[in-house]
Chains A and B, each alone.
Chain A
Amino acid sequence: DAKTTQPNSMESNEEEPVHLPCNHSTISGTDYIHWYRQLPSQGPEYVIHGLTSNVNNRMASLAIAEDRKSSTLILHRATLRDAAVYYCILRDIEGAGSYQLTFGKGTKLSVIP
């Protein structure tokens, strides 16, 4: 799987937007960009995914650079419940390993009340 690079940690104030960056300079044309998060003492939770166009859902927005070498997960209004480790993962859905979620180190997001 292509590699992703994320900051180790970030902080945000409650009720402010949060932009979590992810670099994936070696992304291939068939790699989807997936985001998961893991709250303390819980299993990972799917957040959002996309290929080329920006995506929105009830949890977050995903902004994908035009060259696809980077992306940003946007939480529009951080709450204390959003404090978690956020993982940016590339999945080649056409490859033999398409079933795989290869987790990197992720970004630990702290939300300050």
Chain B
Amino acid sequence: DAMVIQNPRYQVTQFGKPVTLSCSQTLNHNVMYWYQQKSSQAPKLLFHYYDKDFNNEADTPDNFQSRRPNTSFCFLDIRSPGLGDAAMYLCATSSNRGGQPQHFGDGTRLSIL
């Protein structure tokens, strides 16, 4: 089935040690999004790619960066994770930026030691 796949489902890293989360999609969608969801909170958009065009949300910390080498893959890089970055990270796609539904992966739960 076409879908949005996030690997790994669980990731543990050390305080300050860079970590990369990955997302792939078989939907051939133009737009890919990264959301952060902390415990008992709603998902919050960090940034999105429209094709190769990167769009950062105003309040996304500089510690968070992203790469999209091709249509199918998108990566979330956290340069120096702090304890406050422990969260579920959700990847989503949509066919355009308008009103089309977003399709989410099941997320990567990041723990910081």
A contacts, CB < 8 Å to B: 32, 34, 41-46, 49, 87, 91, 93, 98-106
Contact = CB atoms under 8 A, between A and B. Distances in A.
Interface of B: 4, 31, 33, 42-45, 48, 50, 55, 90-92, 94, 97-99, 101-107
Given A46-B102, A101-B102, A103-B43, 20 more contacts: A34-B101, A41-B106, A43-B92, A43-B105, A43-B106, A43-B107, A44-B90, A44-B104, A49-B101, A93-B98, A93-B99, A99-B31, A99-B33, A99-B94, A99-B97, A101-B43, A101-B45, A101-B92, A102-B45, A103-B42
A46 B98 contact: no
Given A43-B92, A43-B104, A44-B90, A103 B99 contact: no
Contacts of B43: 44, 101, 103
Among A91, A98, A99, A105, the one with the most B-chain Cβ atoms within 10 Å of its Cβ is: A99
A106 B43 CA distance: 11
B111 to A, nearest CB: 15
A105 B42 contact: yes
A103 B92 CA distance: 14
A34 B101 CA distance: 8
B105 A106 contact: no
B105 A99 contact: no
B42 A98 contact: no
B94 to A, nearest CB: 8
A42 B99 contact: no
Contacts of B102: 44, 46, 101
9 contacts: A34-B99, A34-B101, A43-B91, A43-B92, A43-B107, A44-B92, A98-B99, A99-B31, A99-B48
